Structure 1
Amino acid sequence: MAEDAVSRLAAVCREKGLRVSAAESCTGGLIGAEITDVPGSSSFFLGSAVVYSNTAKEDILKVPRGILFEFGAVSEQTALCMARGSLALYRSDAAVAVTGIAGPGGATDTKPVGTVCIAAVSGSSHKAVTFHFKGDREDVRRQSAEAALTMLSEICEGRP
């Protein structure tokens, strides 16, 4: 459950005095919503930028246009740039980013519905993973948010 991932994140952030942020595309604010459901989350959560379009990714998070053209919006490279952009925008200690295809449209032969790239960064540590979630649009979005929260917790714990 996402609640467990958020509780774990809250505990590690409070223990280590970390402040975190997020950048969301296909999750559309679910990560921020899950975190802010926790009373006192303002002590460690700075914010989440919802950047659904490529223009928003470029303008708000400074994702290089070349990355978007070469690898696409749904790529580990773009997710890493989004996470680094969130880190810079919020001046956080760690950040997570999600970009993917929640469906029902938008799929390609190489990137079917459920393809989601998640990246987490903290200091010199970073991690990016491509997931292939199953289910409808809401299922994909919820699974993406939970995986992102878990990955953010892991990077905050110092686990690559």
Structure 2
Amino acid sequence: MASQKVTACCKALIEKKWTIAFVESASAGKLNYEFSTVFDSGKILIGGMVCYHTSMKEDLLHIPQGTIEKHTAESAIVTKLMAQNFHLHVKSDVCVALTGLTTPGGSESETKPVGTIFIHIIFPDKEIATRLLFKGAPEEIIDGATDTVADLILEETGK
């Protein structure tokens, strides 16, 4: 069942007649799932893609060779490119990309600990990007990120 924030976000998108698509890494499809559980989600949800492994980001989303090696798969630039490149092929009013670290390993460091999440959202007239740090178990990190995505979209819809 979707959180109250996701439900409110979907209702606001329905009111504005805006569609939404997701390209996810760390959340592994959770954003798509959460938004799909809201009544009338078929009016707004286009769908999405889970690109967890580097090869999918490079092969399917055309992240330039060397970008992930230089910046890591969990970075602001890779998240931005995921959103922009996915949005070129999947037309929606809103396109959300999310990467990050929910478990130890990967590109974890002192400056990028577990719980670091990158979000990049394309709206009809602008783009926003944010880097956040969540605490807790992997599911708590993703739940927090999901609610943050909903909050960011709600702000843009004026709700």
Same fold by TM-score greater than 0.5: yes
Structure 1 residue 2 displacement after superposition: 5.5
| Deviation string, structure 1 residues 31-55 (Cα, Å, up to 9, x no partner) | 0110011122111000021100111
- Alpha-carbon RMSD across the aligned residues, in angstroms, is 2.1
1:131 maps to a residue whose letter is L
Structure 1 residue 154 displacement after superposition: 3.2
Question: What is the match of residue 126 of structure 1?
Answer: 127
1:34-73 aligned at under 5 Å gives the runs 34-73=34-73
Task: Choose 88-97 or 101-110, whichever is displaced more.
Answer: 101-110
Identity, in percent, stands at: 30
Task: Choose 65-74 or 79-88, whichever is displaced more.
Answer: 65-74
| Deviation string, structure 1 residues 5-38 (Cα, Å, up to 9, x no partner) | 2222222221221111011111111101100111
1:117-156 aligned at under 5 Å gives the runs 117-155=118-156
| Deviation string, structure 1 residues 102-124 (Cα, Å, up to 9, x no partner) | 01333222211111111111234
2:88 maps to a residue whose letter is A
TM-score for the superposition, normalised by structure 2: 0.88
CA distance in 2, matches of 1:158, 1:127: 15
Task: Choose 123-132 or 142-151, whichever is displaced more.
Answer: 142-151
1:149 maps to a residue whose letter is A
The residue matched to 1:61 in structure 2 has which SS?
Answer: coil
- Gap regions ≥5 residues in structure 1: none
Q: Give the structure with the larger helix fraction.
A: 1
| Deviation string, structure 1 residues 48-93 (Cα, Å, up to 9, x no partner) | 2110011111222222234323322111111111112232232111
1:59 maps to a residue whose letter is D
CA distance in 2, matches of 1:145, 1:71: 24
CA distance in 2, matches of 1:22, 1:153: 16
Tell me if the contact between 1:2 and 1:145 (Cα under 8 Å) persists in the aligned partners. no
Tell me if the contact between 2:2 and 2:35 (Cα under 8 Å) persists in the aligned partners. no
- Gap regions ≥5 residues in structure 2: none
